[in-house]
Amino acid sequence: MTHSRQGLKTTTDTVLGGRVKVIQPETGYRIAIDPMLLAAAMDVSPRCRVLDVGCGTGAALFCLLARLPTVQGVGLEKQQSMAELARLGVEANDFADRGEICSGGYF
């Protein structure tokens, strides 16, 4: 399904058998299998907090949070438009209690 957000045409797609929703631009870079592989390969202790630098639309972070329900995560994204899509993804995935997206500035 296509929507228009922040002047961008976006789609809401699912990964991990529908467990994770990703809101992403309709054109340009779109997620592939990389975020899922990254989230699956991370050795994370229960109840820890992770930082995803350059999180884009949040796909890797969301996959990790879906896999490990006691982990908290912060996504850091320089591009305001991508950070806004990631924030929408936090809400769409019901991760507001464990996920946060920060944006702007130089890092």
Every domain of the chain and the residues it spans: 2-103
| Contact yes or no for 57/82 (Cβ under 8 A) | yes
Q: Please, are residues 23 and 12 in contact by the beta-carbon 8 Å criterion?
A: yes
Q: How confident is the model at residue 104 (pLDDT cuts 50, 70, 90)?
A: confident
Where does 2-103 sit in CATH, by number? 3.40.50.150
pLDDT digits (tens, 9 = 90+) for 63-77: 999 999 999 999 999
Q: Is 44 helix (H, G, I), strand (E, B) or coil?
A: coil
pTM summary value: 0.90
